[in-house]
A = this chain, B = another copy of it.
């Protein structure tokens, strides 16, 4: 019997990649508006490159962007980038299409709901609270806060224990085949790969660990109920076999 559905956060519940791209584009636009002497495509490409190299939580993206573009340090230009970046992030933060509807449906059907995510705990909570999603979830597990990262089994085992369910009673939903699907499967959970965002064409070596593949979140409740029915059938036939 399925008792809990656990979701990844970024690009599963929160529409992160799309938002980040909008924020970066708007940052470059605003820097150009305030005098950045570089064309949009060159500057944008450089910014994306540098974020890939230094990571998205690096605090000096726009300072380094100027260095890479051979532009003199200029706090006005950096401020212009930061303002547009933050304004966009605040104004356009959205849940993934269908997320709220699916969460409510699963809740109504009595499943426990949780989040298991990597990332900076405060930033992850900021997204959850800004979207008003905290009430939907019985538990939120953030790997950095626990000192391990997905796909480390520890975070999955901890979540299962806290939710008081067995691995086979839980379903993991996530966009990353390695951290989410391989990770959850390796402790014995059911897995649904949400083919979405920038990882949809990567990590395909781990595809075998996905029990199901979906292109929209709306497909999930039916799959979860299906797993329940399947198990019921199995135990029914067991009864008959006795």
A interface list, Cβ under 8 A from B: 34, 75-76, 78-80, 82-83, 86-87, 90, 121-126, 128-130, 134, 140, 142, 145
Contact = CB atoms under 8 A, between A and B. Distances in A.
Given A80-B129, A83-B130, A130-B83, A75 B34 contact: no
A130 B85 CA distance: 13
A78 B122 contact: yes
Contacts of A123: 79
B75 A134 contact: no
A75 B142 contact: yes
A76 B34 contact: no
A79 B34 contact: no
| Centre residue among A79, A123, A140 by max chain B CB count within 10 A | A79
A124 B75 contact: yes
Contact of A129 (B34, B125, B128, B130): B34
A57 B121 CA distance: 21
Contacts of A79: 122-123, 125-126, 128-129
A140 B75 CA distance: 11
A158 to B, nearest CB: 16
A227 B151 CA distance: 72
Contact of A75 (B76, B82, B90, B145): B145
A122 B129 CA distance: 27
A86 B126 CA distance: 11
Nearest to A120: B75
A144 to B, nearest CB: 9
A127 to B, nearest CB: 9
Given A76-B125, A83-B126, 10 more contacts: A34-B134, A75-B122, A76-B129, A76-B134, A78-B122, A78-B125, A79-B125, A83-B129, A86-B90, A87-B90
